[in-house]
Amino acid sequence: MLRITDARTGEPVAAAPARRGLTRVEAHASGFDASGLRVLLVADLLVRALELGGTPVWALLTGDREQAELRAGATALGTRPFEDSSDLGAALGEAQVVHVVGGDGAAPDGVRIAVAPVHSAMTLAPGSADDPAVMRLALLARPRGLPLRLDEPALAGAHRVLERWRRAVAAWASRPSRPVPDEVRGRLRDAWEDDLDVPAVLGVLEWVEHRPDLDDGARFETYAYADRLLGLDLARDLGRMP
């Protein structure tokens, strides 16, 4: 079961309702900047993790500044669509509300996930980037509760990781498929169900990459499975490699 730390109390709580029903995820982004995009990416992770667990989700974007720019930037970074909070109403079967906020941002009552700010002097134009997943990885690779610096070295590091993993995934795809080993699946689920710990998920992928006793087909299926959460388009180069 996915558990997240409620920023109001510091205590872990279930992200999905105890009874069957819808979870509403509200992203509270103050404007179009790297911090706002990080809020939307964390909300997107939460939506993906809940859906992987079988929980229906209603995702909303709140705020009154640069909403069109935020939506365009988030879409370029591969987020699921967020509806407009101006259409907010009582959803049929709604049982849980989770607010994803930047820093100490205010939010209505409900479980609250706090996202630390991003310090960046870079011009944000994720829609024009050759590979927006590079920025997505750079913004997600650090624990969400810690401030993050987005600069050329951070992007270069994320690019190197993605390039290496995509080459590996394309090579592994040529081998006979094998199921994700139970131990590996368990480690991945334990990582993302423990407060959406993306750095731990990435650590599991590094472990799988170098573990000598795994079939390449199992490595491929593991990366494909994890990418349902990460949204990094890890299988992008299938068929492109010589």
CATH of residue 208's domain is 1.20.120
| Single residue among 78, 113, 130 that ends a domain in this structure | 130
Predicted local distance difference test score (pLDDT) of residue 242 = 52
Predicted local distance difference test score (pLDDT) of residue 88 = 54
Residue pLDDT, tens place only, 65-100 = 778 888 888 888 999 888 886 555 555 556 688 999
Q: How far apart are CA 82 and CA 17, in angstroms?
A: 20
Predicted local distance difference test score (pLDDT) of residue 22 = 86
| Single residue among 130, 147, 180 that ends a domain in this structure | 130
Q: Are residues 123 and 69 in the same domain?
A: yes
| Owning domain of residue 185 | 156-230
The residue count of the chain comes to 242
Record the pTM: 0.91
For residue 236, is it within any domain?
no
8-22, 28-42, 151-165, 210-224: least confident range: 8-22
List residues bridging with 62 in a β-sheet: 28
Residue pLDDT, tens place only, 169-201 = 999 999 999 999 999 999 999 999 999 999 999
And the tokens for 198?
């993306």
Q: Are residues 193 and 86 in the same domain?
A: no
Q: Are residues 172 and 93 in the same domain?
A: no
41-45, 105-109, 176-180: least confident range: 105-109
